[in-house]
Amino acid sequence: MSAPSEGATVGARSASPAPEDAPPVCARGLVKRYGDITAVDHVDLTVRAGDVYGYLGPNGAGKTTSLRMALGLIRPTAGTVELFGRDPLVVGARALQGVAGFVEAPRFYPYLTGRKNLELCAALDGGEARERIGAALDIVDLAPRARHKVAGYSHGMRQRLGIAAALLREPRLLVLDEPATGLDPAGMRDMRRLIRRLAGEGITVLLSSHLLAEVEELCDRVAIIRTGRVVYEGDLAELKRTAAGDYLLRTTDDVIAARVCNSRPDIRQLRHHGSELRFSADEPAVAALSIALIEAGAAITALAPETASLEDLFFRLTEGDQGDSGAHPEVSEASQSNGGSGAAQPAAVAAGGHR
Ligand SMILES: Nc1ncnc2c1ncn2[C@@H]1O[C@H](COP(=O)(O)OP(=O)(O)OP(=O)(O)O)[C@@H](O)[C@H]1O
Ligand SMILES: [Mg+2]
């Protein structure tokens, strides 16, 4: 029912069991080059069972290209991706068992009705997919329009029909490329509710988005991609903590203040900015620090939380080349200098320059 790569709606029924405890998505070292352009540059992703995983990045960051590789629609220049432990390029369509979704936008025959399009999808899938059409239309709230031609559907209705098509396959993993983009606020809200509902039913969701608020509302884990590179992967809650936990400190004695801060393990990511110190910490650590500073003889002239919002952090992570040298502040380097291991430490990027 759709072209194999553009606007592809992908999926297969979960007919045979996937390997036990293999994660729904495991990408390692994924690279895609188009001539001079490196669309995806050594991306590692792990989507765990039960995640609502946000793949977040600005336009052109490489989200769609990554998802296409994940679904076996295009061949990586390098690297591997496995779905429930199976590589689509090795085992073919069998890797898509239990996987459904769409990339860019779902495509349907415009001169056929929504229901007829779903019937064609179900016929391709075989099995009991056809019996699920009514329920799928109900879930996406399209039952009243199912007998209308898709040509007359709004953008939001087509998106929802795409999800209905995916649901025919009873997916365990749903891959959605910017499912709410182009929808009006009510359409976005409905799409988010729908995704939450599906996640609540135990479907693992990998969705791409360039909207931080959307990801914030829906996702528990995220990867943030910029110019093909993942600059943060991990818990959204952890990213939020980083955004909220930055403090600025000025005292009457810079040397004592730095020594006291350095001696306290709960004062993290200490940075010097002229006569100010900046660090990450939680509130109890800041309270204890204030006492320690006074006891050590450094009177506090300013101790204030930095107001970096999650949105600021997103921009720091996705708008890179503002450092003094003009170099891109790569998180991996920054996180190493902070003793980071593997996962990027987003606050470390702030040290590389911001806007
Ligand atoms: N088939 C192609 N040929 C050449 N360049 C491509 C091709 N597909 C993608 N690119 C380039 O790869 C980069 C990443 O594109 P991609 O579509 O993956 O970004 P995206 O994050 O999905 O962006 P958007 O938010 O706009 O959908 C862009 O520079 C794009 O121009
Ligand atoms: Mg895209």
What is the per-residue burial (b if ≥16 Cβ within 10 Å, else e) of 286-317? beebeebbeeeebeeeebeebebebebbbebb
Which has more confidence, 47 or 180?
A: 47
Tokens of 127: 């099995």
pLDDT of residue 260: 96
pTM of the model: 0.74
Q: Which of 49-53, 101-105, 106-110, 133-137 has the lowest mean pLDDT?
A: 101-105
Closest atom of ligand 1 to 35 CA is 4
- DSSP-derived secondary structure for 72-91: TSS--SEEEEEETTB-HHHH
- The yes-or-no verdict on residue 301 having pLDDT over 90 is yes
**Distance from the CA of 39 to the center of ligand 2, in angstroms?**
11
Is 63 close to ligand 1, i.e. is its CB under 6 Å away? yes
Is 145 close to ligand 1, i.e. is its CB under 6 Å away? no
Residue bearing tokens 């709606």 = 9
Which tens digit of pLDDT belongs to each residue from 188-231? 888 899 999 999 999 999 999 988 888 888 999 999 999 999 99
Which tens digit of pLDDT belongs to each residue from 178-196? 998 888 888 888 889 999 9
What's the alpha-carbon Rg for the chain, to the nearest Å? 24
Closest atom of ligand 1 to 68 CA is 18
pLDDT of residue 309: 67
**Distance from the CA of 228 to the center of ligand 1, in angstroms?**
9
DSSP letter, residue 197: H
Q: Whose CA is nearest to atom 13 of ligand 1?
A: 39
d(CA 9, CA 113): 17
Exposure of 17 in the CB half-sphere (CA atoms within 13 A): 3
272: helix, coil or strand? strand
Strand 221-226 to 52-56 pairing: parallel
- Which run of H or E residues covers position 40? strand 37-47
Closest atom of ligand 1 to 66 CA is 18
